[in-house]
A and B are shown apart, each in its own frame.
Chain A
Amino acid sequence: MKIAMTLNGETIEAEVEPRQSLVDFLRGLGLTGTHSGCEHGVCGACSVRVGGQVVRGCLMLAVQADGLTVDTVEGLSQSGEIADLQAAFHRLNALQCGFCTAGMLLTAQDILATNPVPSRADIREHLSGNYCRCTGYQAIVDAVAEVAVERSGG
Chain B
Amino acid sequence: MTAGQGQTGRSLPRPNARRLLQGKGRFVADKVLPRMLHAAFVRSPYAHASILGIDLTTARAAPGVVAAWDGAAIAAHVTPFVGVLTHMTGMKSPPQPALAVGTSHWQGEPVAMVVARTRALAEDAAALVEVDYDPLPPVCDVEAALAPDAPLIHPALGTNLCWERRIDAGDVDAAFTLAAHVVERQFVFGRHTGVTLEPRVCIYDYDASEERLTLHYSGQVPHMMQAVLARHLGLPEAQVRVIAEDVGGSFGIKIHTYGDEIATAVAARLLQRPVQFLADRYESFLSDIHARDHRVTARAAMGPDGRLTAVEIDDITGIGPYSVYPRSSAIEGNQVLNLTGAPYVIPAWRGRLRVVFQTKVPTCQYRGVGHPIAMTVMEGLMDDLAAASGRDPADLRAINLIPDDAYPVTSPQGVLFTDLSHQACLTRLKDLMDYDGLRAEQAALRKRGIHRGIGLCSMVEITNPSPMFYGVGGAPIAAQDGATVRLDASGSIQIGSSVTEQGQGTETVLAQIAADVMGVDPARIGVTTGDTATVPYGGGTWASRGAGIGGEAMRAAAEALKAQVLAVAGAVLQVDPSALNLAGGAVVDRAGQARITLQALAQMVYYRGNELPPGLAPELIATRHFRVEGMPFVFSNGAMASYVEVDAETGFIRLLGHWVVEDVGTILNPMLVDEQIRGGVVQGIGAALFEECLYSDDGQLLTVTLADYLVPMAGEMPDIAIAHVVTPTRTSALGAKGAGEAGTTGAPAAVMNAVNDALRPLGAKVSQMPMTPERILRALGTVP
Question: B675: which A residues are within 8 A, CB to CB?
Answer: 93, 96, 135-136, 139
Which of the residues A20, A77, A129 comes within 8 Å of B23, measured between beta carbons?
A: A77
CA distance in complex: A26, B680 (Å)? 33
A32-B23, A45-B197, A93-B675 in contact; A39/B251 too (CB < 8 A)? Answer: no
Report B192-205 CB contacts with A as 1/0, cut-off 8 Å. Answer: 00111111000000
Question: A89: which B residues are within 8 A, CB to CB?
Answer: 17, 21
Which of the residues A32, A102, A138 comes within 8 Å of B717, measured between beta carbons?
A: A138
B247 at the interface (CB under 8 A from A): yes
B273 at the interface (CB under 8 A from A): no
CB distance from A144 to the nearest CB of B (A): 10
Majority secondary structure of chain B interface residues (helix, strand, loop or mixed): loop
Question: A137: which B residues are within 8 A, CB to CB?
Answer: 682, 712-714, 717
Report A23-59 CB contacts with B as 1/0, cut-off 8 Å. Answer: 0000100011111111111110100000000000000
Question: B504: which A residues are within 8 A, CB to CB?
Answer: 96
Among residues of B, the one whose C-beta sits closest to the C-beta of A36 is B29
Question: A32: which B residues are within 8 A, CB to CB?
Answer: 23, 25, 27, 29-30
Question: A34: which B residues are within 8 A, CB to CB?
Answer: 23
CA distance in complex: A41, B198 (Å)? 15
Report B702-741 CB contacts with A as 1/0, cut-off 8 Å. Answer: 0001110001111111011000000000000000000000
CA distance in complex: A141, B719 (Å)? 9
Find out whether the CB atom of A99 lies under 8 angstroms from the CB atom of B248. yes
How many interface residues does B have (CB within 8 Å)?
54
Find out whether the CB atom of B679 lies under 8 angstroms from the CB atom of A98. no
CA distance in complex: A74, B675 (Å)? 26
Find out whether the CB atom of B713 lies under 8 angstroms from the CB atom of A131. yes
CA distance in complex: A57, B201 (Å)? 20
Question: B683: which A residues are within 8 A, CB to CB?
Answer: 133, 136
Find out whether the CB atom of A40 lies under 8 angstroms from the CB atom of B707. yes
Question: A139: which B residues are within 8 A, CB to CB?
Answer: 675, 678
Find out whether the CB atom of A124 lies under 8 angstroms from the CB atom of B714. yes
A128 at the interface (CB under 8 A from B): yes
Find out whether the CB atom of B17 lies under 8 angstroms from the CB atom of A90. yes
CA distance in complex: A93, B678 (Å)? 12
B228-264: which have CB < 8 Å to A? 246-251
Find out whether the CB atom of B197 lies under 8 angstroms from the CB atom of A136. no
Question: B165: which A residues are within 8 A, CB to CB?
Answer: none
A80-104: which have CB < 8 Å to B? 86, 89-93, 95-102
Question: A90: which B residues are within 8 A, CB to CB?
Answer: 13-14, 17-18, 21
B348 at the interface (CB under 8 A from A): no
Find out whether the CB atom of A33 lies under 8 angstroms from the CB atom of B717. no
CA distance in complex: A33, B21 (Å)? 9
Find out whether the CB atom of B713 lies under 8 angstroms from the CB atom of A128. yes
How many interface residues does A have (CB within 8 Å)?
56
Find out whether the CB atom of A95 lies under 8 angstroms from the CB atom of B678. no
CA distance in complex: A33, B712 (Å)? 24
Find out whether the CB atom of B249 lies under 8 angstroms from the CB atom of A133. yes
A70 at the interface (CB under 8 A from B): no
CA distance in complex: A96, B247 (Å)? 10
B610 at the interface (CB under 8 A from A): no
Question: A125: which B residues are within 8 A, CB to CB?
Answer: 714-715
Find out whether the CB atom of A77 lies under 8 angstroms from the CB atom of B22. yes
A95-B17, A97-B197 in contact; A141/B706 too (CB < 8 A)? Answer: no
B120 at the interface (CB under 8 A from A): yes
Report A88-126 CB contacts with B as 1/0, cut-off 8 Å. Answer: 011111011111111001000000000000001001110
B134 at the interface (CB under 8 A from A): no
Find out whether the CB atom of A74 lies under 8 angstroms from the CB atom of B23. yes
Among residues of A, the one whose C-beta sits closest to the C-beta of B196 is A133
A99-B249, A137-B682 in contact; A73/B22 too (CB < 8 A)? Answer: yes
Among residues of B, the one whose C-beta sits closest to the C-beta of A129 is B713
Report B503-527 CB contacts with A as 1/0, cut-off 8 Å. Answer: 1110000000000000000000000
Among residues of A, the one whose C-beta sits closest to the C-beta of B671 is A93
Interface-centre pick from B280, B503, B711, B719 (highest chain A CB count, 10 A) = B503
CA distance in complex: A130, B715 (Å)? 10
A19-B120, A77-B22 in contact; A35/B17 too (CB < 8 A)? Answer: no
Among residues of B, the one whose C-beta sits closest to the C-beta of A19 is B120
Find out whether the CB atom of B13 lies under 8 angstroms from the CB atom of A35. no
Known: A37-B197, A97-B249, A136-B712. 20 other contacts (CB 8 A): A27-B29, A27-B30, A33-B22, A37-B281, A37-B706, A39-B280, A72-B23, A90-B17, A93-B672, A95-B503, A96-B675, A97-B197, A97-B502, A99-B25, A124-B715, A129-B713, A132-B714, A133-B196, A136-B743, A138-B719
Q: Closest 8 interchain pairs by CB?
A: A33-B23, A98-B20, A96-B503, A99-B248, A128-B715, A136-B682, A97-B503, A73-B23
23 A/B residue pairs, CB under 8 Å, sorted by A: A35-B29, A35-B248, A36-B29, A40-B281, A41-B707, A42-B706, A43-B197, A89-B17, A93-B17, A96-B503, A96-B679, A98-B21, A105-B21, A120-B719, A124-B717, A125-B714, A131-B197, A132-B714, A133-B249, A137-B717, A139-B678, A141-B714, A141-B719
Chain A contact residues, CB within 8 Å of chain B: 17, 19-20, 27, 31-43, 45, 72-74, 77, 86, 89-93, 95-102, 105, 120, 123-125, 127-141
